[in-house]
């Protein structure tokens, strides 16, 4: 009997997407396959995906990553949610926390009890009942005891890719340095057969993973898969990014601050601050955007701001023939809710669950595409929600408020407006608590709510809500500041890398 040749996986491109993919594949199917990653030091990466959501922790557990080591190597800090500033109108602020808000009952979610209390003249704000919100705004953090917090990370994206490479290469991933000159296709099947580098080297494979970023060299330039443009719903198309010196202790949350033609981010790491400015080029010139960003940066910039152009949308298929697009090559939704790294990780997880060792995995590919599309559209709708529910007066924002939204989002808004109904489907990333936080934060208060809480006497409802707030208040003094916790947990070297 002749031995079957080993299955060959070729990853085109490095960066976060490439090395996340390589590290996961080699850990879980390494003995079954040969994995080659092709990247060029001469080609830069976007490198601004520096904020995550709690699902990153589960993915790290899947890879066996030591949290302290990871955080030290990537200058990471903790994140409890996102502070949205000026989104409803100038001077307004709300918080989208991780974790649960309040306490739901088997048949009735918490927001209905809160809305009943609000109608009766007491109850406070929705996120008054979120431990993550109150800890974040107080600048406090700890893992495990004394208070369980749902958290994610802020991280240095360039250092993160290097960290993952340090795991993947010793485990068996072969890295090949070089620029891709040509993508060869099989003359009979039409599948991708090999990558040809400028050096003349030819990298053959059975499965090709496109991590070439916005260029989408394999999935689009070669296979011409097609792209659904979502610019009619999310018309920002540009961003400046710059890192700056730290001027204050890192807060355990991301700041998303609206401006006249978009929004800007502020992401605190242990050794520096990440800053970005997202905007619509139809409403603001590059020079004006750059000037506004630099005026808002609190510390000394470490380099000139980098301009990034993008289109919001998704490939018609993320798995086409023997090519799977992961990361920016599969599509892009602006980074408002920090979902970019999550979408990489969930795509890799889905690939592992359906790992192909044949060329004709048609049914699995279609299922993969359906799941990917459903989750991406859900994220798209959640991002649009922030824009469509605004009361700002600039042309950019008025256009958003007046613009039609996808039917799937219109259904959610109508259900919430009519009766405070929010839900999380099987392929949905964002929980009921997240929809509630953004709906209420953006000024939407339902016309009605589930009437079961009306069966509770006002005094009992007030007492129950007071107990929830008191429980949170009692936890806060037990928590150290994030700065204190980081110093003892994973203090990173204070080198500033430009």
pLDDT above 70 covers what percent of the chain? 96
User: What's the pLDDT score for residue 496?
Assistant: 39
pLDDT over 60 (residue 235):
yes
User: What's the pLDDT score for residue 494?
Assistant: 46
User: What's the pLDDT score for residue 269?
Assistant: 97
pLDDT over 90 (residue 120):
yes
Backbone angles phi, psi at 345, to 5 degrees: -65, -40
Q: Identify the band that residue 495 occupies on the pLDDT scale cut at 50, 70 and 90.
A: very low
Place of tokens 């406090």: 140
Q: 407-419 and 432-441 helices cross at what angle (nearest 10)?
A: 80
User: What's the pLDDT score for residue 493?
Assistant: 53
User: Domain map of the chain by residue range?
Assistant: 7-50+156-228+313-360, 98-148+387-478, 238-309
Distance CA 380, CA 470 (A): 36
pTM of the model: 0.95
pLDDT over 80 (residue 24):
yes
Q: Identify the band that residue 497 occupies on the pLDDT scale cut at 50, 70 and 90.
A: very low
Distance CA 422, CA 417 (A): 10
Per-residue pLDDT averaged across 99-127, rounded? 95
To 5 degrees, how large is the angle CA 70–CA 73–CA 77?
70
User: What's the pLDDT score for residue 419?
Assistant: 97
User: What's the pLDDT score for residue 365?
Assistant: 93
- Is 174 among the catalytic positions? no
Q: Are 16 and 305 in contact (CB under 8 A)?
A: no
Joined together, the tokens standing for residue 241 give: 């990014």
pLDDT over 80 (residue 43):
no
To 5 degrees, how large is the angle CA 247–CA 253–CA 256?
85
CA distances from 494 to 73, 261, 271, 487, 497 (A): 11, 35, 5, 12, 9
Range scoring the smallest mean pLDDT among 48-52, 77-81, 260-264, 361-365: 48-52
Distance CA 324, CA 361 (A): 12
Joined together, the tokens standing for residue 405 give: 């939204």
Q: Identify the band that residue 3 occupies on the pLDDT scale cut at 50, 70 and 90.
A: low
User: What's the pLDDT score for residue 4?
Assistant: 67
Q: Are 130 and 99 in contact (CB under 8 A)?
A: yes
Distance CA 127, CA 98 (A): 11
pLDDT over 80 (residue 357):
no
Number of H helices and E strands in the chain, helices first, is 14, 21
User: What's the pLDDT score for residue 358?
Assistant: 73
Catalytic residue among 79, 179, 232, 478: 79
Q: Read off the pLDDT of residues 316-325 as tens digits, 9 standing for 90 and up.
A: 999 999 999 9
Range scoring the smallest mean pLDDT among 147-151, 310-314, 331-335, 397-401: 147-151
Q: Mean pLDDT in the chain?
A: 94
Q: Identify the band that residue 267 occupies on the pLDDT scale cut at 50, 70 and 90.
A: very high
Domain 7-50+156-228+313-360 has CATH 3.50.50.60: yes
User: What's the pLDDT score for residue 44?
Assistant: 67
Range scoring the smallest mean pLDDT among 66-70, 230-234, 351-355, 391-395: 351-355
One DSSP character per residue, 16-55 reads HHHHHHHHHHHHHHGGGEEEEEEE-TTS-------B--TH
Residues facing residue 243 across a β-bridge:
274
User: What's the pLDDT score for residue 266?
Assistant: 97
Backbone angles phi, psi at 317, to 5 degrees: -145, 135
Distance CA 26, CA 21 (A): 9
Please, is 391 exposed, middle or buried when counting C-beta atoms within 10 Å of its C-beta (0-12, 13-18, 19+)?
A: middle
pLDDT over 80 (residue 47):
no
pLDDT over 50 (residue 410):
yes
User: What's the pLDDT score for residue 427?
Assistant: 82
Q: Read off the pLDDT of residues 173-187 as tens digits, 9 standing for 90 and up.
A: 999 999 999 999 999
pLDDT over 90 (residue 309):
yes
Q: Residues, the chain, total?
A: 498
Q: 340-353 and 362-388 helices cross at what angle (nearest 10)?
A: 160
More confident residue, 46 or 343: 343
pLDDT over 90 (residue 46):
no
Joined together, the tokens standing for residue 371 give: 């799941």
Q: Identify the band that residue 498 occupies on the pLDDT scale cut at 50, 70 and 90.
A: very low
User: What's the pLDDT score for residue 144?
Assistant: 79
- Decide the pairing of beta strands 81-85 and 254-259: parallel
Residues 6+ apart with CB under 8 A from 52: 79, 152, 153, 154, 155, 338, 341, 342
Backbone angles phi, psi at 134, to 5 degrees: -70, -40
């Amino acid at each position: 009997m002749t031995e079957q040749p080993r299955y060959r996986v070729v990853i085109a491109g490095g960066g976060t997407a490439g090395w996340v993919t390589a590290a996961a594949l080699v850990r879980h199917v390494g003995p079954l396959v040969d994995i080659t990653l092709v990247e060029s030091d001469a080609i830069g990466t976007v490198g601004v995906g520096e904020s995550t959501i709690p699902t990153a922790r589960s993915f790290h557990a899947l890879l066996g990553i030591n949290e302290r080591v990871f955080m030290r190597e990537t200058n990471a800090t903790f994140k409890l949610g996102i502070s949205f500033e000026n989104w409803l109108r100038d001077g307004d602020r709300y918080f989208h926390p991780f974790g649960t808000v309040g306490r739901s009952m088997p048949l009735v979610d918490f927001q209905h009890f809160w809305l009943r209390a609000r109608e009766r003249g007491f109850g406070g704000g929705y996120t008054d009942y979120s431990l993550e919100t109150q800890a974040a705004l107080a600048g406090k953090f700890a893992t495990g005891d004394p208070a369980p917090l749902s958290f994610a990370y802020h991280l240095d994206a360039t250092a993160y890719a290097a960290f993952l490479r340090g795991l993947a290469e010793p485990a068996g991933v072969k890295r090949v340095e070089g620029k891709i000159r040509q993508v060869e296709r099989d003359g009979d099947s039409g599948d991708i057969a090999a990558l040809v580098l400028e050096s003349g080297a030819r990298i053959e494979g059975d499965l090709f993973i496109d991590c070439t970023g916005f260029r989408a060299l394999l999935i689009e330039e070669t296979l011409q898969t097609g792209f659904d443009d979502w610019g009619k719903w999310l018309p920002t198309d540009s961003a400046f990014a710059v890192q700056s010196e730290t001027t204050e202790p890192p807060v355990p949350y991301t700041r998303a601050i609206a401006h006249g033609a978009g929004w800007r981010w502020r992401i605190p790491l242990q050794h520096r601050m990440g800053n970005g400015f997202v905007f619509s080029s139809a409403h603001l010139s590059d020079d004006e955007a750059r000037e506004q960003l630099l005026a808002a940066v609190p510390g000394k910039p470490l380099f000139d701001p980098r301009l990034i152009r993008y289109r919001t949308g998704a490939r018609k298929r993320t798995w086409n023939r023997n090519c799977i697009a992961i990361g920016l090559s599969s599509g892009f939704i602006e980074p408002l809710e920090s979902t970019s790294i999550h979408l990489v990780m969930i795509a890799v997880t889905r690939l592992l669950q359906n790992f192909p060792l044949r060329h004709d995995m048609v049914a699995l590919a279609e299922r993969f595409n359906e799941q990917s599309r459903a989750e991406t559209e859900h994220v798209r709708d959640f991002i649009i929600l922030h824009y469509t529910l605004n009361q700002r007066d600039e042309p950019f924002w008025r256009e958003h408020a007046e613009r039609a939204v996808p039917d799937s989002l219109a259904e959610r808004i109508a259900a919430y407006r009519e009766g405070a109904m929010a839900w999380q489907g099987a392929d949905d990333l964002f929980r009921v608590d997240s929809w509630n936080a953004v709906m209420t934060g953006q000024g939407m208060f339902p016309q009605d709510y589930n009437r079961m809480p009306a069966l509770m006497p006002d005094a009992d409802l007030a007492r129950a809500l007071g107990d929830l707030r008191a429980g949170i208040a009692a936890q806060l003094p037990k928590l150290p500041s994030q700065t204190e916790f980081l110093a003892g947990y994973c203090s990173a070297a204070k080198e500033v890398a430009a």
